[in-house]
Amino acid sequence: MKITSVNTNGIRAAAKKGFFEWLQRESLDVVCIQETKAQEHQLTADTFHPEGYHVYFHDAVKKGYSGTAVYTKIEPKSVKYGIGEEVFDNEGRWLEVDLGDLIVISLYLPSGSAKEERQNFKYQCMDRLEQEFDRLKSTGKDFVICGDWNIVHKEIDIKNWKANQKNSGCLPQEREWLTKLFDEQDLVDAYREVEKGPHNYTWWSNRGQAYANNVGWRIDYHITSPSLAKKAQSAEIYKEEKFSDHAPLTLTYK
């Protein structure tokens, strides 16, 4: 099973850059999209409903902002829109599909880089999401939370480690939270189960020549149950085509 996570920074913009042709060509089983920046009524064209996929959108109330989507070849037994927290759900940041033996979530964790108020909102979301992680674990099913978590974990995950210590996404409190999830809450960074090497990033600033020089951050993840992490066979960050400022992250599971 091939599962992909990608922040498209506008699903319509990514479509114009060939994203859906790539999706079909790769024959991906599940694709979790973040930052659709669209309302479902704007996505009625065949392009956004490729043959063979069940398609679900969780839009932000604010037009042209945030939003998540899931494309899946397997018809879900149920779909969960949001986490029951209005301020979070109004931004369309959590979309969950139950595929039977596997639960897949598209998560778009807020960025705190705009202003202090948004950083505080990010911390509130991080705390609240722990309840959802506990709920997922209580199901006894395998699960994967795909998404743009807007946090790097360790020095290996970012090119300019020292220069970003005071920037949102690389703050000690954020990174310590990921460590707690991995060390205490039994969640697994599945990418690191199969790829141990450095200089593997999923997001690059549009400033300067960050992409060309691979001055990036690894802020997109497959965070999974331990049993699913053991089934991860390979991982790829796709950079042959550029659909947005993020690269698609695909893991193949047995």
DSSP 8-state code for residue 76: P
Active site residues: 148
Residue 84: which residues within 8 A CB-CB, separation 6 or more?
Answer: none
CA gap 253, 1 in Å, rounded: 5
Tell me which DSSP letter residue 86 carries.
Answer: H
Coil, helix or strand for 159?
coil
Q: What number of other Cβ atoms are within 10 A of residue 82's Cβ?
A: 17
What is the residue type of 160? Answer: N
- Residue 156 CA to residue 215 CA, distance in Å, equals 12
Strand, helix or coil at 240?
Answer: coil
Distances from the Cα of 97 to the Cαs of 86, 145, 180, 190, in angstroms? Answer: 20, 11, 25, 19
User: SS3 for 205-236, per residue?
Assistant: CCCCCCCCCCCEECCEEEEECHHHHCCEEEEE
> Comparing C-alpha atoms, which of 182, 185, 187, 120 is closest to residue 153?
182
234 bridge partner residues: 252
